[in-house]
Structures are given as structure tokens and as C-alpha cells.
Amino acid sequence: MTATDPLSRLEAALAARAPLVDAAHETAFRLFNGHLEGDPRWVIDAYGRTAVVYRHGQADDADLGAVLETLRAQLPWLATIVVKEREGLYEARRGRIAFQAPGSVGPDTRVSEHGVRYAVDPLLNQDGGFYLDTRELRRWLLDHAEGKTVLNTFAYTGSLGVAALAGGAARVLQTDLNPRFLDVARASTALNGLPVDRRDFVARDFFSFVRGTKLRGERFDIVILDPPFFSSTPRGELDLSRDTTRLVNKVRPLVRSGGTLVVVNNALFLSGAALVAELEALCAGGWMTMETLIGVPPDVKGYPQTRVGEPPVDPAPFDHSTKIAVLGVRHR
């Protein structure tokens, strides 16, 4: 097996993640980022005892079988392996169970991170339903949300809002277009013994929600803006490669003066320099300030000893294509 053999790349990546494996197998982390670690056909994540394998492009079933065999040999604690096709019909993208150990009842339904529990459903959608690249943002919310009111827009399964609640937020309002995703957010809230108030989970289109919230004059200490790369509804369309300024201006009035706006942009082909320039232009009037940038954990982007590639567009000064900025907001 040569140094450039794809399975050698995978084995090296798994070895680098060994310190992340907890005794109870309750954590979530990236096992392999093939785009940056030498084999772009695969991205593999761990959710407790469940591995989720994303197959990209042209990889035949023999290649997939070799990957599954390597995972089972190197990680004997795995109970379930889910395979998701990144191309093809929606059901294939949602995934299928490719391996299940005797006695296993299916994919894990909860993980733990920074002492907080999160409900997960690896078969709910075309991704894993719990974004690993925002782990440090959840840590930031745990550390900064105490006593604050928080609005989590494009909440998806609500992990950012749950982190804020676990950090002592006075109130967290989670909003997303899809009520099924908010069901997961409610389950995560309950897992931590936190109060579940149905009024704090609003299934509504972003543009409609923002308009109504402005009309009511509601403001929050922290607003999280973490939209999908692309979305289109009858109320409006967004594309993160060009719409950051428009989206920031939509939610900025919802941030209390002296409050914080967290901006997440995962547009792969938008450079970090371009995003910073856009945010600096928004700050030029003195009503917003760039406070800090939040990085992505090393398992998500690859380690120095395993990483052999770079993103297609330079994310600097961010450290990954998922670019996270914390902005201070003032009003007249």
C-alpha cells in the first residue's frame, strides 16, 4: 500500500482523530475530509457510534466496500454506518444504512459536545443534521449567552440556539422554514432539561419572519445569521456568494444597540478576503464593528500531517470555507 493509496489517506486520517474518541462514544466529529485529505470522493463524520459516509462523484461500489471495511476494522466500536450519495435522487442523498452491528437498533439519536446534549437524526436530511464546522461557535455561545436574549435565524435543527440556552441565555427564539427540523431543536432542548416553550420555535419563511419581527419592534442581544448556501421560497431567494450585505441589513434592526450579530457564510467559492471587505464596508459608518473571527476545529479541515489539499478559494483570514464573524451593533 503506497503513501498515495486512498485507503492509506483514510487510515492516516482515522489515526489522527484517535484522541477525539471518547470512552462512551457520545461525541461528534469529522473522521475524514477527503477534499483536503487526499481523496475527494469521501467525507466521513462520526455521530456517537454512527458513521456517516458521503460519497461524492464517481466512486464504485467496490471502492465503497473498501471504505466500509476500513472503517469497521479501524473503528470496531461503530454500530451503524450510513451512506449518503451527494448526487442523485433525494432519497439517496438522505442516506441508507450500509452496516448495522448485531444488536444495534439503528443510527444514534443523540450526541454530546462541551457537556451539552444534542438530538440527531442522520437520516433526516441530506446532511447529518448537526454541523461539525460550527463547534467553536457553539462554544462561543456557551461562553457569551448568559442572561442574553438570542434569535437564531435559519436555525435548522437548532444546535446553536441550544448551546445559547445551555450557556444561560434568558430566552432563545429559533426560527426555520421547516417544522421537522425544529422538532429536533425541541428534542435537544428537552435532552438538557431546559424549558421547551412552543412560542420559541417558529416555522416561518425568513423574510416573512423578519418583516413581522421588525413591525413588532422586537430586538435581541444576540442574533445569529447562518443561512444555507442557496435557498428559494415564494417570499424571496438568497445566494450566499452575493447576498451577505442584504441579509445583514435585514437582521441588523433586530439586534439591540450594544448587541451582537453572528454571521456565518459557508459559500465555498467566496474568498475570506471578499467577505471581510464586504463586512468592513458595512462597518464603515461606525454602527457596526468587527469583534472577532471564530475558527473551525481541526478535525473538520484536516490536520497538518494529513492535509494534502487546499480549498478552491482562499478563506484567509478565516481558517476554513465556513467563515464565522462576530459583529458588534449600535443604533442611533
141 in the same domain as 51 = no
188 in the same domain as 88 = no
Helices (H) and strands (E) in the chain, counts: 11, 16
Q: Residue 259 pLDDT more than 50?
A: yes
295 in the same domain as 238 = yes
Dist. CA 48–CA 30, nearest whole Å: 11
Give the pLDDT of residue 228: 86
Q: Does residue 121 belong to any structural domain of this protein?
A: no
Judged by average pLDDT, the poorest of 87-96, 155-164, 263-272 is: 87-96
295 in the same domain as 184 = yes
174 in the same domain as 93 = no
305 in the same domain as 236 = yes
Residue 57 pLDDT grade (very low, low, confident, very high; cuts 50, 70, 90): confident
Task: Count CB atoms within 10 A of the CB of residue 253.
Answer: 15
Q: Does residue 1 belong to any structural domain of this protein?
A: no
Domain count, the chain: 2
How deeply is 199 buried, as exposed, middle or buried, from its count of CB atoms within 10 A (0-12, 13-18, 19+)? exposed
Q: By residue range, what is the domain housing residue 274?
A: 131-329
Q: Does residue 31 belong to any structural domain of this protein?
A: yes
Q: Does residue 126 belong to any structural domain of this protein?
A: no
Q: Does residue 125 belong to any structural domain of this protein?
A: no
Give the pLDDT of residue 87: 87
Summarize pLDDT for 214-231 with one digit per residue, the tens: 999 999 999 999 998 766
Residue 22 maps to which CATH number? 3.30.750.80
Tell me the average pLDDT of the chain.
94
Dist. CA 124–CA 179, nearest whole Å: 12
154 in the same domain as 71 = no
The helix/strand/coil state of 36 is: helix
Query: At which of 110, 139, 173 does a domain end?
Result: 110
Q: Does residue 117 belong to any structural domain of this protein?
A: no
Q: Does residue 87 belong to any structural domain of this protein?
A: yes
Residue 260 maps to which CATH number? 3.40.50.150
Say what the pTM is. 0.95
